[in-house]
A = this chain, B = another copy of it.
Amino acid sequence: MEKAKMYGIGVGPGDKELVTVKALRILKESDVVMAPVMANGEKTAWGIVKDYIPDKEVIDCFVPMTKDKEKLKQSYDAICDTVETYLKNNKQVAFITLGDPTIYSSYMQVNDEIKKRGYETELIPGITSFCAAAARLNMSLCERNESLTILPSSYKDVREGLRQKGNKVLMKAGKEILQVKEMLREENLLDKAQMVECCGMPNERIYRDLNELDSKSSYFSLIIVKE
């Protein structure tokens, strides 16, 4: 039976229970799991699913935190070469990614390259960090006719984005958190902002008031601004 296929599987933002029934089924059916490893050695996505599939073959994928396009391409090509060795042997590959694969996931570069190489791929949606953060704060992100804009804090026009109408989510504030806080103050949005750090993880922290913020926060910080 032909089953050479790669699945890009969203495993949600961190809580082991925020994995879908579909993600678990496909992980169990797959021959091998590709797991991203962060620069500090952490395997956050694997940590979310490992207890469900303890005996599964797992391959670490190292992606450097660099903006050097040539280095990134080399890393992704090497990952794709590994994936391809399995696909060539008619194996099913599950590539896990934090949150959802369609929202700021570097997995999509692997997905596009593997498609280019002529193999079938499929995406399995996951719980996004912003939905989990809003749930944790027990608040809506958008209701009725409100719009919602998702902005990466590293977005060069982030101030312009903040000036748009509607509600906003600022993602990956991480290293620039104090600059983001200052920008929110300048735009008179600080009082409308709340933040969740490491949502659903053991070190989760909630800030109902961003004035409390005085030091560098985690890469996994998420700010919600309601109009």
Contact = CB atoms under 8 A, between A and B. Distances in A.
Nearest to A15: B22
A102 B134 contact: yes
Contact of A144 (B18, B20, B128, B152): B152
* Most chain B CB atoms below 10 A, which of A19, A123, A131, A139: A131
Contact of A138 (B104, B122, B140): B122
B155 A131 contact: no
A115 to B, nearest CB: 8
Given A22-B18, A126-B131, A103 B142 contact: yes
Nearest to A124: B135
A148 interface: yes
A51 to B, nearest CB: 11
Contacts of A136: 123
Interface size class of A (residues with CB under 8 A): 35 or more
Contacts of A103: 131, 140-142, 148
Interface string A22-53: 10110000000000000000000000000000
B138 A134 contact: no
A20 B127 contact: yes
A125 B132 contact: yes
A161 B150 CA distance: 13
A21 B25 contact: no
A104 B155 contact: no
Interface string A153-173: 011110011001110000000
Given A17-B22, A18-B20, A101-B140, 6 more contacts: A20-B20, A104-B143, A124-B135, A128-B131, A146-B152, A157-B165
